[in-house]
Structure 1
Amino acid sequence: MRLALSNPQPALLRATAWALIGAIYAPLFLTLDALLSQPLGEHSVAAAAMVAGAVGAAFYGARHAALAASVVGVVAASFVLLALDGDRAFWIAALLAAGLGVLTGLAVDFPSRCTDNVLAKVSTGAVTGALCGGLLGLIAEGFQVALTVPMVVAFLVSVNGILYISGVRPMARLTRQIPARFCAITEGVMIAVIGVVVAGNVWIFAGILMADGQSDRLVAAVADSADLMPIAVAAGVLAGGVTGALLELFEFPWIDDL
């Protein structure tokens, strides 16, 4: 595979785009890992990487659905924050976001078929994220290697990103076999999942800022990881920038045509 060195502008553009993806991915992954570490233990990295990979894939390649899901999540969390407090508010916000997400997918006519193959992109991001997170878990447990947060984030942003770019087209060919009449349901489910993640994150960080005792366990779990957030974001930005530039230099295809 030859290097595309004649014009550096596309590489800089792609590096910038991937650096932004890394900046979004890092805090999302760190928050999810903190939330899932107690119920899932050593499997929390794989689960957090799976969800973060799916959400990141939606923002990267299916922006209409991702933006709709973000609005749904913020609206649901804001409504619940105004009306309720305590442990139950978190789950009510998640259920409300899920319901609104499904309704949005069914009611809104997005501008392209299945919102730019949102099912293929989200599924690919989830699968590659789970594989990369699972591999990190095996390395940490099997070889007793202490993986730092920057190492984990950099690995996930870079390797997961490359696997995603390589695997999304075969997944898109597979999901194109789904009849068009199921597109609205597919969009609704994807928006619901991302909306739940967004609502949960909004609710958690609002609880930290307001310090009103909301779900002490959940808020404390995220608060404990707050000190690691700057270095995690820096690792995500750096790894994303380098990965984006390398993808362009080695002429990996963009996915804006899917």
Structure 2
Amino acid sequence: MTRSIRPAALRPSAAERARTVAGRPAAAVCAAGIDGSRVLAHTITAHGQVLLVVPTDGEVCTAVRASADGDLAALLMVTDHAPVPLHDAVRAQVWLSGWLTPVEPADQQEALLAFADVAPVGALLDVGSTATLLSLDLAEVVLGECGAVTEVDPDDYLAAVPDPLAAVEADMLQHLDASHPEQLALLASRVPAEWAGGGTVRPLGLDRFGFRLRFEQPAGHHRDVRVPFPAPVTGPEDLGVAVQRLLCAAERACPGR
């Protein structure tokens, strides 16, 4: 059971969160007769094109080729897992619904370059041999997070920018969890006791607005709480100063530590 505590604080919009979650590598396609087929790679290009790389001999590519209309109604599900061990490791999911079509040969080179600009993954090298490049004509976006499901306008989703700390978040949280228990405790001290509810504090997330902490209860329940920076950061280069200011504020509030 998850209970998300929402103090008044700045936080990413649903569109920004959806774009950030959609950048995670764990993805699968669902369609009629297809229950979670693996995706080798996926991305959204700078021009807002949703692209997928799938096995050429897999069930998704086979279904697209067999479609009488030349496209396949499908859902791309992307799962965001916490970078530290937690009882419930799934932080969020994004469901992108629309129609899958093969990228035309004449457009493939340009599409591959646009894909590589955002996500230079090795699977792109297999396109044309063991892998196929597909395009998803986006119709619906849904974000599932903190026990809530939010519909996101596809235009807002495509216009949003992923969180600028997404690439460094995992390393930061793993380092905090493994090597800095005192700093983690200081961050937890910023949370009122009635929100924290006791339990063991773990680092859950990090974005431009601040940290998210999880308080895990012995019975298996947990509470997620946001600890904001004094001001949102613009990128990794601002992170060190923002964290230091947050920790200094926590130390001043807890003079006996």
What is the TM-score with the length of structure 2 in the denominator? 0.26
Larger % of helix: which?
Answer: 1
* Higher normalized contact order (CA 8 Å, seq sep 6+, divided by chain length): 1
Greater Rg, structure 1 or structure 2? 2
